[in-house]
Amino acid sequence: MHTLVFALFSINVLVSSISIPFIDNAVLVPVSISTSTIIQNLTCDQCLCNATSSQLAVNCFPNDTCQMFTNVPRTYTIETVANGRLYFPQQILPNASQCCMPDLDEVLSKLQNATSIYVSINNSRCLAFDNQGHVASIDSAAKLLKIFNATNLALTLQSSSLSTSSLTNMAYYDGNYYVGTSANTILIINGTNLTIINTINSSSLSGPRDMTFMDNGSIMIAASTGNNKLLIFNRTSVAPLSYSFAYQLPVSYAYPHGFLRINDSFLYVTSWFNNTVYSYNALNLYNMSWTETFDFSAIPVAPSSNGNHIQIDECDRRWFSLGNYGIKIFNSSGSPIGSFTLANLSVFDSLLTDNYVIYLSDTSSKRIIRIDPNMDCQY
Ligand SMILES: *[C@@H]1O[C@H](CO)[C@@H](O)[C@H](O)[C@H]1NC(C)=O
Ligand SMILES: *[C@@H]1O[C@H](CO)[C@@H](O)[C@H](O)[C@H]1NC(C)=O
Ligand SMILES: *[C@@H]1O[C@H](CO)[C@@H](O)[C@H](O)[C@H]1NC(C)=O
Ligand SMILES: *[C@@H]1O[C@H](CO)[C@@H](O)[C@H](O)[C@H]1NC(C)=O
Ligand SMILES: *[C@@H]1O[C@H](CO)[C@@H](O)[C@H](O)[C@H]1NC(C)=O
Ligand SMILES: *[C@@H]1O[C@H](CO)[C@@H](O)[C@H](O)[C@H]1NC(C)=O
Ligand SMILES: *[C@@H]1O[C@H](CO)[C@@H](O)[C@H](O)[C@H]1NC(C)=O
Ligand SMILES: *[C@@H]1O[C@H](CO)[C@@H](O)[C@H](O)[C@H]1NC(C)=O
Ligand SMILES: *[C@@H]1O[C@H](CO)[C@@H](O)[C@H](O)[C@H]1NC(C)=O
Ligand SMILES: *[C@@H]1O[C@H](CO)[C@@H](O)[C@H](O)[C@H]1NC(C)=O
Ligand SMILES: *[C@@H]1O[C@H](CO)[C@@H](O)[C@H](O)[C@H]1NC(C)=O
Ligand SMILES: *[C@@H]1O[C@H](CO)[C@@H](O)[C@H](O)[C@H]1NC(C)=O
């Protein structure tokens, strides 16, 4: 939820003797779908004079460009723009920004009622979307990377056997897949033809788990679950793509496992063993200046180890994939607020789209499941 935390001022327009509220050094940025009109080459005053009785909000940019909204979008942010100004010409302040589906019970009910489709896969683990409308997973024991159509789960492409060792995890970044092996290597795999481009090695890597990328791929972070560390690699070559170990961060809990990257300096990490979630904040990606903060524990609703992966939805709720416990949902304070499960389900990983289409890798029924609750969040 976003609130108007900026100071609100107003100007008096003498001609009509009305007072127009505004926020200095700020503009309204729509998140959900909205319509607006952009007018160039007008000063802010000209723009406001031109604003008709239907304009609820007007952004004045410092370059003589303004943007007029007849409706304030349901979801928006107010962002700082030096010398910009956000006006409310009708003297009506917008409602607080809202997420699309604030009622979790409704979301869960729709998911439970929706029909699901699935595809069989043995020993599946992580799930990832590529940027071409596919969802990928691995068959850990058969050592295969499998790419499915994200809409109907038809198998689109499958690699040949990638390793003599079992596969532990998989991530997708910028056209390539990254697959960890139980031989403590990470394979870089071309996303188009699924051949191995390179192998990332480090003597510090013990049981590779989730991976994520920062600074446009200059940095790769990998969970090293066997020695309770996060390993930071830096990219040493773009062609052929290659990464080498830079430094490591010990974690304060057992078995770091799933990652959720928020931005270039912030990520969440799950503890597989403790069913907890920690956040990491980097002051500088290229040295060891990270801080670790405990976020929440799923132990009250999921008492035994299986803290696989975590996602956050558009309403700031945490969806924690917890194996046989299914998915447990927590609010931003870490209190349990809901649960999603199916018969004979053990969730290794899950993906959630903006419209609450959910994909589950289910190691118990040996399949990937897709459930579409038919929502329209219009992002
Ligand atoms: C804005 O003004 C500049 C300079 O006078 C002109 O080149 C440009 O075409 C104008 N743009 C519009 C949208 O009127
Ligand atoms: C004033 O706004 C209308 C649309 O609301 C636009 O058609 C017109 O060109 C604008 N006038 C100027 C001077 O930009
Ligand atoms: C003015 O700034 C806005 C916001 O940065 C930008 O979207 C727009 O293209 C700019 N307009 C011109 C004419 O440079
Ligand atoms: C705020 O929400 C109320 C209730 O949904 C609605 O009637 C009203 O038009 C909204 N106000 C604005 C400025 O959008
Ligand atoms: C789900 O199905 C149940 C039983 O048929 C029904 O009562 C409930 O309203 C449905 N929920 C939604 C969100 O459609
Ligand atoms: C799963 O493994 C069994 C036994 O090896 C095999 O018969 C079956 O074809 C596999 N299924 C898939 C979808 O790979
Ligand atoms: C997935 O399948 C649908 C339905 O057959 C098709 O329209 C779509 O193009 C496919 N997507 C991809 C990425 O192949
Ligand atoms: C991946 O393979 C495709 C097809 O051979 C090729 O066009 C592309 O350049 C390759 N990408 C990388 C990063 O090697
Ligand atoms: C896949 O792409 C890579 C990189 O472009 C290339 O070296 C390799 O020959 C391709 N493999 C196949 C089977 O096309
Ligand atoms: C990693 O090790 C493998 C096998 O030992 C080797 O083929 C590969 O070249 C190494 N990769 C790098 C980047 O050193
Ligand atoms: C990459 O890591 C090595 C080893 O820690 C370091 O010497 C080098 O400066 C790093 N590169 C960048 C761009 O930080
Ligand atoms: C993790 O769980 C174990 C077993 O319950 C417990 O002994 C340990 O203190 C926990 N560690 C943390 C950091 O919570």
User: How many angstroms does the Cα of residue 219 sit away from the middle of ligand 8?
Assistant: 21
| E strand or H helix at 50 | helix 44-50
Q: Which burial class, exposed, middle or buried, applies to 50 when counting CB atoms under 10 A from its CB (0-12, 13-18, 19+)?
A: middle
- Which residue ranges have their beta carbon within 6 Å of ligand 8? 175, 190, 192-193, 197
**CA dist 141 → 162, 168, 175 (Å):** 11, 9, 24
Asked if residue 72 has its Cβ within 6 Å of ligand 4, the reply is: yes
Residue corresponding to tokens 């790769």: 220
| Number of the ligand 7 atom closest to the C-alpha atom of 156 | 14
Rounded to whole angstroms, the Cα distance separating 233 from 248 reads: 9
Rounded to whole angstroms, the Cα distance separating 165 from 342 reads: 32
Residue nearest to atom 14 of ligand 9 (CA): 193
SS (H, E, C) 69-119: ECCCCCCEEEEEEEEEEEECCCCCCCCCECCCCCCHHHHHHHHHHCCEEEE
Q: Which burial class, exposed, middle or buried, applies to 376 when counting CB atoms under 10 A from its CB (0-12, 13-18, 19+)?
A: exposed
Per-residue pLDDT of the chain (379 residues; tens, 9 = 90+): 334 556 677 666 555 557 889 999 999 999 888 889 999 999 999 998 888 778 899 999 999 999 999 989 988 999 999 999 999 999 999 999 999 999 999 999 999 999 999 999 999 999 999 989 999 999 999 999 999 999 999 999 999 999 999 999 999 999 999 999 999 999 999 999 999 999 999 999 999 999 999 999 999 999 999 999 999 999 999 999 999 999 999 999 999 999 999 999 999 999 999 999 999 999 999 988 899 999 999 999 999 999 999 999 999 999 999 999 999 999 999 999 999 999 999 999 999 998 999 999 999 999 999 999 999 886 5
R_g of the chain, CA atoms, integer Å: 24
User: How many angstroms does the Cα of residue 84 sit away from the middle of ligand 9?
Assistant: 50
- Asked if 173 and 129 touch (Cβ cutoff 8 Å), the reply is no
Residue nearest to atom 14 of ligand 3 (CA): 63
At 294 the pLDDT is: 98
User: How many angstroms does the Cα of residue 117 sit away from the middle of ligand 1?
Assistant: 53
At 1 the pLDDT is: 36
Residue whose CB lies within 8 A of the most ligand 5 atoms, among 109, 112, 375, for a mutation test: 109
Asked if residue 193 has its Cβ within 6 Å of ligand 9, the reply is: yes
| Number of the ligand 2 atom closest to the C-alpha atom of 68 | 5
Asked if residue 52 has its Cβ within 6 Å of ligand 1, the reply is: no
Which ligand is closest in space to the CA of residue 131? 7
At 231 the pLDDT is: 97
At 17 the pLDDT is: 59
User: How many angstroms does the Cα of residue 242 sit away from the middle of ligand 10?
Assistant: 10
Residue nearest to atom 13 of ligand 12 (CA): 253
Look up residue 73 and give its amino acid. Answer: P
Asked if residue 134 has its Cβ within 6 Å of ligand 7, the reply is: yes
Rounded to whole angstroms, the Cα distance separating 375 from 355 reads: 5
At 3 the pLDDT is: 44
Asked if residue 65 has its Cβ within 6 Å of ligand 1, the reply is: no
| Number of the ligand 1 atom closest to the C-alpha atom of 40 | 13
241-250 β-sheet, strand order:
208-214, 219-224, 229-238, 241-250
| Number of the ligand 4 atom closest to the C-alpha atom of 56 | 13
| Number of the ligand 9 atom closest to the C-alpha atom of 193 | 1
